Amino acid sequence: MTLGALGLNATTTSVSLSWSASMDNVGVAGYGVYNGVDLVSTTAGTTGIVGGLVCGTNYTLAVDAFDGSGNSSPKSTVMVATLDCPAPVDTTAPTAAVTAPANGSTVTGTVNETANATDNVGVTKVEFLRDGVMYGQDTTAPYSTTLDTTTVTNGSHTLGARAYDAAGNTGTAANLTATVANSASTPTSNLSTNTRRCRKF
């Protein structure tokens, strides 16, 4: 008994095999399908499936024919690789922390808000939040933006940050509190200085 070449079709976890009937068809009782030296299944037909395989891995599969007396043909073997494993899905959220200004600080004019952000794959964006509303963003480390505090009311405000990764996971930093204390008299004092200078001349 002899078998011809094996036809095959691989998925990520299985390989389907097909073969032509043995030339000695009259005496064939069935066929054995092997993964390496291990017999996977026997069949009277001319197709078989080897399942439970690992993606992206090479296997040596084989088929032989046997007759009713326990005689087997030489194995017809084939080397086959299962399909590449799918890319792993990133389910780990980034972490973020605001690094400036200091919690509890008093701020005036234009201030820099900076943040650290990390991710198991990569941070794609950091959004900066004032009182929970995004007011700036940065897509490259180091992460920072500027806040013009003259556009907000004097008093206590929260500053936060939210980091994103490419899979859409987000990590939100703990808010810090800063007190905005812009003085409305600042332009007046400049005028006073100018006035004094004028008097000298």
Which residues ranging from 150 to 179 are in contact with Ca ion (CB under 5 A)?
165, 169
Chain position whose Cβ is nearest to Ca ion: 165
Residue 91 φ then ψ, to 5°? -115, 10
Query: Going residue by residue from 74 to 103, which x/- string records binding to Ca ion, judged by CB under 5 A?
Result: ----------------x-x-----------
Q: Quick check: 140 binds Ca ion (CB under 5 A)?
A: yes
* Pair type for strands 58-67 and 110-118: unpaired
| CA atoms within 13 A of residue 195's CA, in its CB half-sphere | 6
Which residues ranging from 106 to 125 are in contact with Ca ion (CB under 5 A)?
119-121
Query: Which stretch in 65-73, 108-116, 133-141, 155-163 sits in contact with Ca ion by CB under 5 A?
Result: 133-141
d(CA 42, CA 118): 54
Tell me how long the chain is.
201
Query: How many other CB atoms are there within 10 angstroms of residue 160's CB atom?
Result: 21
Nearer to Ca ion, 104 or 142 (CB): 142
Binding-site ranges for Ca ion (CB under 5 A): 90, 92, 119-121, 138, 140, 165, 169
